[in-house]
Structure 1
Amino acid sequence: MSGETTKPATHAERLTRTLVTGASGFTGAWLIGGLLASGHAVTETVAGAGAPETPSRRRLDITSLEQCRQVIDEVRPDYIVHLAAISFVGHDDPLDFYRVNVLGTLNLLQACADVGHTPRKVLVASSANVYGNVTSDAIDESFPVAPVNHYAASKAAMESMARTWFDRLPILIARPFNYTGRGQTSNFLVPKIVEHFARREPEISLGNIDVARDFSDVRYVVRAYEALLDSAAVGETVNVCTGQPYTLREILTMASDITGHDLEIRVNPAFVRQTDVKVLVGSPAKLRTLVPELEAIEFRQTLEWMLAA
């Protein structure tokens, strides 16, 4: 009929194509489940030559600009959630942090420009470790970055370089504070504690149990990422946290209370890092302004969920 305009497809009528890098990691598995449930057509990318490929899963070495170009050009995603990173602070090759976390991120952004594709949003996962040793009840996004290890330094460098792209791509940088949940490996502290209580071990070796962290539930973090994708926020940096700190001592007490099991705590000097950040607590004020519908999960509930696995 003449004069009739074509109504643009709504989010519900058109499949939203979302590319998730680092899909096989702890966070990726939880995020992808949420995105699929929300109607996203997800393309996962995984590192490693041996990783099997499927129509929705691609191998991608983000340190290769050519591979990044190929994947971006083929998928042409509406959204990119960039999770791929070396995230274990104790990783043994410092150069890897910079190759993967800094250059890999830049390759992804450069690839979008090179193939002429502008997604609706690129959500880049950074880390609250960029703040370093800050003495504050609640660190907000205006605090200066002061990294104290290679992981944090690589994330700070990645953020600085990503900001140079703010005028070319709709980028949002998320700074998650510590988070945990089912599926996180036991070289991270909370899963290690949970495993010891679940097996009813007589003792556990830890470092400084009086360090305090703003621990979140991985399900809360991925809901925050999904909500931030749907929000209007771009060209911003936002903390993903709850504002509630817990010391490892408090977590041990909580786990003991849930399981009815006591274990002896041995402080192993080898686990005490001189660069350990003593207290890391974030302000979620900006996050709550951007996505007011997001609800935190009580950390005791997280521990109960992990212990029931």
Structure 2
Amino acid sequence: MLLKNKKVLVTGAAGFIGSHLTERLVELGSRVKAFVRYNSKNNWGWLETSPVKDQIEVYQGDVRDFDAVYNAMLDVDVVFHLAALIGIPYSYVSPLAYIKTNVEGTYNVLQAARQLNIEKVVITSTSETYGTAQYVPIDEKHPLVGQSPYSASKIAADQLAISYFRSFSLPVTIARPFNTYGPRQSARAIIPTVITQILAGQKKIKLGNLYPTRDFNYVKDTVEGFIKIAESDNTLGEVINIGSNYEISMQKTVDLIIELIGEEVEIISDKQRIRPEKSEVERLWCDNTKILKLTDWRPRYNIREGLLETINWFKDNLKFYKPEIYNI
């Protein structure tokens, strides 16, 4: 199924990955409807400055509201469900908010899709659902472990989606991206927090635990993974990792960013940025065999190339960030 000329809804379209996906779908010739969270200022998040702003239909609502979700999905062919609460630290503060948004919000999308006979629904998962790797690289058969309220809510949402495929034959696929980075990412994440602090002129940058390893993926590769998963006829009812199959430690990632920017800085350990001991996911390394087999997707960016593009974007857009403030 090609997405050209399809009516496509993207929930969470105003956010980091959602805005990039929205733009790519427009490039492919899809008729895109962007579901953004209602606010009285009529602000469309990252879509406010997007080059495709005038080529999309924007629907304002709340993913926790079934009526809003149902109305947004009228006359839609394909749904990419990205709307979620994603900040792990805040999930320690308000677990219920994550249940309502991530679980109930996903239910609303699934139920509306069932009632409206949507052609395909792609649910966004996260590698955090695996917890610390019990074996590497991590394939889709790896056990799911809720090491934070955030990851637990995403596990619940994923299982609900699978149940709708098995119970009602809903055409659902779960895309499970590993750690995505790039332009527009929240400074709560490790890569943008390092970049913004250095670009703001800080000589002592505050960071959390640098021992864990991750499989980082540039946002353009992640978005292309979503699209290839949606277009493939072989992905229905499947959970599919999106990752580079390249493992790197937080420390080495930080060192590479410092090298690329070319500034000398001192790293300070900040306790408020460190997860509870049993909640820290120590190791994530993606086995991407399945997506390579089921689609023609291939990662295009290595870590150095992706970081260079990301750094250059932040140089031009630092005004949107407050590097001196850590916000969970």
TM-score (norm 1): 0.91
- 1:34–1:111 Cα change, 3 Å: same
Distance across 2 between alignment mates of 1:192 and 1:49? 27
> Which runs of structure 2 are paired with 1:1-309 in the superposition (5 Å)?
15-50=5-40, 52=42, 56-73=57-74, 76-91=75-90, 92-114=93-115, 117-166=116-165, 167-232=168-233, 233-273=235-275, 274=277, 275-309=279-313
SS at match of 2:88: coil
**Cα displacement (A) at 1:291:** 1.8
Corresponding letter in the other structure for 1:69: Y
SS at match of 1:278: coil
**Cα displacement (A) at 1:168:** 2.6
- Show CA shifts across 1:210-257 (max 9, x none): 111111001100011111111111110001111111112111221222
- Structure 2 unmatched ranges of 5 or more: 45-53, 314-328
SS at match of 1:292: coil
SS at match of 1:59: strand
Distance across 2 between alignment mates of 1:283 and 1:176? 11
Corresponding letter in the other structure for 2:14: S
**Cα displacement (A) at 1:128:** 0.9
In the alignment, which residue of structure 2 is the partner of 1:7? none
Per residue, is there more helix in 1 or in 2? 2
Higher Cα Rg, which structure: 1
Tell whether the 8 Å contact from 1:136 to 1:281 is kept in structure 2 after alignment.
no
- 1:51–1:242 Cα change, 3 Å: farther
Tell whether the 8 Å contact from 1:194 to 1:303 is kept in structure 2 after alignment.
no
Distance across 2 between alignment mates of 1:149 and 1:259? 33
Distance across 2 between alignment mates of 1:238 and 1:44? 24
SS at match of 1:144: coil
- 1:180–1:118 Cα change, 3 Å: same
Tell whether the 8 Å contact from 2:10 to 2:18 is kept in structure 1 after alignment.
yes
Tell whether the 8 Å contact from 1:203 to 1:265 is kept in structure 2 after alignment.
yes
- Structure 1 stretches (4+) deviating beyond 6 angstroms? none
Corresponding letter in the other structure for 2:249: T
Tell whether the 8 Å contact from 1:125 to 1:175 is kept in structure 2 after alignment.
yes
Distance across 1 between alignment mates of 2:61 and 2:238? 27
Aligned-pair identity in percent equals 27
SS at match of 1:204: strand
Corresponding letter in the other structure for 1:197: I
- Structure 1 unmatched ranges of 5 or more: 1-9
- Show CA shifts across 1:74-95 (max 9, x none): xx21110000000111123210
- Show CA shifts across 1:156-206 (max 9, x none): 011111111104310000111111001112111100111123234211111
**Cα displacement (A) at 1:11:** 5.4
**Cα displacement (A) at 1:51:** 5.6
Tell whether the 8 Å contact from 1:200 to 1:261 is kept in structure 2 after alignment.
no
**Cα displacement (A) at 1:50:** 2.1
- 1:120–1:294 Cα change, 3 Å: farther
Corresponding letter in the other structure for 2:190: L
Root-mean-square deviation (Å): 1.8
Tell whether the 8 Å contact from 1:139 to 1:281 is kept in structure 2 after alignment.
yes
